[in-house]
């Protein structure tokens, strides 16, 4: 006889903390490194309490030296630890791009397969808090372009926990990108330990008319759009990629085969987008299943503005997603 897992309601940031806590309990080589993550518990409170529980040898507060401490994470990982390095904003990860792109991503390959870099870089991005152009970007596309990195972007507390556990256990560098608007989002999380494998998408809502592929904060926005469209009799399936690298192509294909229509939604800028890559892959390999041209709903090619109205206009909102779905269905909005 099996019993249903007992679920607890918790926030995204608490689910992340739970993943860190469980993995640090399970494996002594797991440590966390970053700015203000100790006593202060991190700017988004993800690491709160870890210092008291695990001590300063494993919870390491750093100076403002992104290149240095990301590099430190690379080296500690090569030497057998499993560091989880927190970079406060993905915008600041740009200070450490040599370490990410030229060192972490290449080490295993360049060493002929012998070297391992079991490093997780936790960072956060996205617009919506009036933090302006240097604290609001969606830069996953830069990392998506670099062979040797895995890229994870969870949308729910359940996914955040299960994916962080897998990221920590992975032997390759994983860029784990959280969204600043999701930290307080609530969801059901099993009380028992679990892991979600990297590279497995999740259908967040089933539907038959159109497939929306999204990730991170575009998942809840797509679900809002889907609810609105349901009232018009349009059935939308929402596929949450959860990880961009590795990408669960089959999940996307399976859904598009069923619906025959695809809208890819991303917060990042339009030019050279991950969304474009997904659209191109479906167009190349699945054209016989498509009943309509693919639509991309993305951010504009702009720095994120400070003014609230401009900021909202710069990245997709639920009405933009609704419009994208109507476009592929060839329907106009009900008057």
Which residue, 103 or 211, is less far from other proteins as judged by CB? 103
For residues 214 and 221, give the distance between their C-alpha atoms in angstroms, rounded to a whole number. 9
CB of 71 to other proteins, least distance (A): 1
Measured in degrees and rounded to the nearest 5, phi and psi for residue 218 equal -75, -15
Which residue, 74 or 304, is less far from other proteins as judged by CB? 74
- Look at residues 113, 115, 116, 108 and name the one whose alpha carbon lies nearest to residue 83: 116
CB of 289 to other proteins, least distance (A): 23
User: CB within 8 A of 75, min separation 6: which ones?
Assistant: none
What is the DSSP secondary-structure string of 116-182? ----EEEEEE-S-SS--TTS----HHHHHTSTT-EEE---SHHHHHHHHHHHHH-SS-EEEEEETTT
CB of 269 to other proteins, least distance (A): 25
Distances (CA, A) of 174 to 85, 103, 282, 325: 10, 13, 25, 32
Residue 9 β-bridge partners: 188
CB of 244 to other proteins, least distance (A): 13
Task: List residues binding other proteins (CB under 8 A).
Answer: 31, 57-58, 60, 62-63, 65, 67-81, 83, 98-99, 102-103, 106-107, 109-115, 147
Sheet with strand 30-34: strands edge to edge: 59-61, 30-34, 82-87, 120-125, 174-179, 150-152, 243-245
Which residue, 49 or 246, is less far from other proteins as judged by CB? 246
For residues 313 and 121, give the distance between their C-alpha atoms in angstroms, rounded to a whole number. 30
Query: Could you give the residue numbers annotated as active site?
Result: 135
CB of 147 to other proteins, least distance (A): 6
- Look at residues 234, 270, 265 and name the one whose alpha carbon lies nearest to residue 252: 265
CA-angle at 52, arms to 50 and 54, nearest 5°: 60
CB of 32 to other proteins, least distance (A): 12
Which residue, 103 or 216, is less far from other proteins as judged by CB? 103
Which residue, 63 or 233, is less far from other proteins as judged by CB? 63
Which residue, 98 or 206, is less far from other proteins as judged by CB? 98
């Amino acid at each position: 006889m099996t019993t249903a897992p007992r679920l607890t309601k918790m926030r995204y940031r608490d689910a992340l903390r739970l993943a860190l806590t469980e993995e640090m309990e399970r494996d002594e080589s797991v440590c966390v490194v970053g700015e203000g993550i100790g006593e202060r518990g991190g700017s988004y409170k993800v690491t709160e309490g870890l210092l008291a529980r695990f001590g300063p040898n494993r919870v390491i507060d750093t100076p403002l030296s992104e290149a240095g401490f990301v590099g430190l994470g690379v080296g500690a990982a090569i030497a057998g630890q499993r560091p989880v390095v927190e970079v406060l904003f993905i915008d600041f990860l740009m200070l450490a791009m040599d370490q990410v792109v030229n060192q972490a991503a290449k080490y295993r390959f360049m060493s002929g397969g012998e070297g391992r870099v079991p490093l997780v870089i936790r960072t956060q991005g996205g617009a919506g808090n009036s933090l302006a152009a240097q604290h609001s970007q969606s830069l996953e596309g830069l990392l998506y372009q670099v062979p040797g990195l895995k890229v994870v972007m969870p949308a729910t507390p359940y996914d955040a926990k299960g994916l962080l556990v897998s990221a920590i256990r992975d032997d390759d560098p994983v860029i784990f990108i959280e969204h600043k608007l999701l930290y307080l989002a609530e969801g059901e999380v099993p009380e028992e330990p679990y892991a979600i494998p990297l590279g497995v998408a999740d259908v967040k809502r089933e539907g038959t008319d159109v497939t929306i592929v999204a990730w991170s904060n575009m998942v809840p926005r797509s679900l809002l759009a889907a609810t609105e469209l349901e009232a018009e009799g349009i059935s939308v399936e929402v596929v949450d990629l959860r990880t961009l690298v590795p990408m669960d192509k089959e999940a996307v294909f399976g859904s598009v085969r069923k619906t025959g229509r695809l809208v890819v939604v991303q917060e990042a800028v339009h030019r050279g987008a991950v969304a474009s890559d997904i659209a191109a892959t479906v167009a190349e390999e699945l054209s016989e299943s498509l009943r309509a041209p693919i639509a991309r709903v993305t951010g504009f090619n702009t720095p994120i503005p400070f003014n609230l109205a401009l900021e909202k206009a710069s990245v997709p909102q639920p009405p933009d997603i609704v419009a994208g779905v109507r476009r592929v269905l060839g329907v106009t909005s009900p008057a």
